[in-house]
Amino acid sequence: MDFLDRRLKIPLTNRTTTVKYALVHTAYWVLITGFFLYEKRYLLYKAGLPYFAACVIIRVVLLIAIAYLNIHYFLPRYLLTGRYWRYFSLVILSILGYLFVQTVYDFVIYGFIIAPTRNRDWVETLSYNFFSTLWYLGLMVPLKLSIDWYEQQRTLQKIAVEKLQAEVNFLRSQVNPHFLFNILNNLYALTLKKSDLAPDMVLKLSEMMEYMLYDSDDAKVPLEKEIGYLQNYIELEKIRCGDQSDIALKINGKPNGQEIAPLLLLPLVENAFKHGVGRQSENSWLHGTLTLNSTAIEMTVENNKPASATEAPKGGIGLTNLRKRLELLYPGRYSLQTEERSDTYRAALSIQFAD
């Protein structure tokens, strides 16, 4: 767990908070205290250190008390539940309590300790304390709401990532049973014929299973492994479909040590087989182009559609799931476009690598 996300128990309560939350609030009150130290520094010379320290401590402690009473009690119980009059009434009452204590202390300081300011204006004192308190409370509320909103967004994103990863893991655990069923049937037929293609088919299937069971658990994998998995998938599908299908993948460029999230390229090809080649017995085709450079990867897959297209069978990772993963993993650095015509379907994916 990240150090900033560690939980800390709040003294004298049953509540906990994060290290990050505590650091932000500590920094805020250090700044407030520093401001009062600077503003009241003249008391150090006129009233002495004890009265100077007491003035600052009383003011800051009272502000902290009403600030956290507001954000941890009044705010969630009344403002966020729509009981606005109750909320504002309690805020005003808490400020009046602060004004009473602070103004009495100010009167003692300025009326008896510092003789030259004995006739200090009460209206001025009350006005200053009231509006300064509103100002600091007004800063604390948006600070808390901003932190809560940020943490909520982080939590929602974490839940979305975990949910999506669970979906990918489930789909990976299925290993596309329809695909495996067809491959094993073809492998059985090849072994009966004692075909030289059988050992190569077993090797490619073994490499695919190894990648899916082990490598694809990682957050990122070497790009060459992802491409190798894709090539094995296409080669096995070519064997399954036979000579009546035109299936080709052209690769421009070479991997330059880049890493990519696993199973991002397969959905484009898998979708093409599901919607096109896999649903036609002859005259089917699938053409893919993969372009690699040091900053990006681009892939296009185009296939013909059967003359009487019906609803595509369900299964596989799918383009919908792919788009969700891209939005979470490569926000602002990807493009996924699809184009469907009467007889063809085209999908294009582009991912920009981080600098």
Are 117 and 215 members of one domain? no
Are 241 and 274 members of one domain? yes
Residue 162 belongs to some domain of the structure:
no
Are 185 and 215 members of one domain? yes
Are 151 and 183 members of one domain? no
Residue 195 belongs to some domain of the structure:
yes
Are 222 and 344 members of one domain? yes
Cβ burial, residue 227 (10 Å; 0-12/13-18/19+): buried
The CA angle 314-239-187, to the nearest 5 degrees, is 90
Are 319 and 277 members of one domain? yes
- Last residue in a domain, options 97, 124, 155: 155
Residues shown for the chain = 355
Residue 164 belongs to some domain of the structure:
no
Are 54 and 190 members of one domain? no
Are 124 and 211 members of one domain? no
Instruction: State how beta strands 296-304 and 344-352 pair.
Output: antiparallel
Residue 170 belongs to some domain of the structure:
no
Beta bridge partners of 304: 344
pLDDT value of position 115: 54
Are 129 and 23 members of one domain? yes
Residue 166 belongs to some domain of the structure:
no
Nearest-angstrom CA–CA distance, 269 and 170:
19
Over the chain (355 residues), what is each successive 10-residue block's mean pLDDT? 66 69 78 79 76 80 81 79 84 80 71 53 66 68 67 75 68 56 74 79 83 77 90 84 82 88 86 71 84 92 74 55 82 90 89 81
The CA angle 346-350-354, to the nearest 5 degrees, is 170
Domains of the chain: total? 2
Are 151 and 109 members of one domain? yes
- Last residue in a domain, options 123, 155, 187: 155
Instruction: For residue 229, give the nearest of 317, 320, 335, 348 by alpha carbon.
Output: 317
Residue 23 belongs to some domain of the structure:
yes
Number of other residues whose CB lies within 10 A of the CB of residue 109: 20
Beta bridge partners of 290: 251, 299
pLDDT value of position 199: 84
Residue 303 belongs to some domain of the structure:
yes
Q: What is the CATH number of the domain that holds 194?
A: 3.30.565.10
3-state secondary structure of 285: strand
pLDDT value of position 152: 74
> Residue 213 belongs to what domain range?
175-352
Are 137 and 179 members of one domain? no
Overall pTM > 0.75: no
Are 133 and 183 members of one domain? no
Alpha helix segments (H runs only) across the chain: 19-39, 42-46, 49-69, 84-108, 122-174, 177-192, 197-213, 223-241, 266-275, 318-329
Residue 51 belongs to some domain of the structure:
yes
The CA angle 210-214-218, to the nearest 5 degrees, is 140
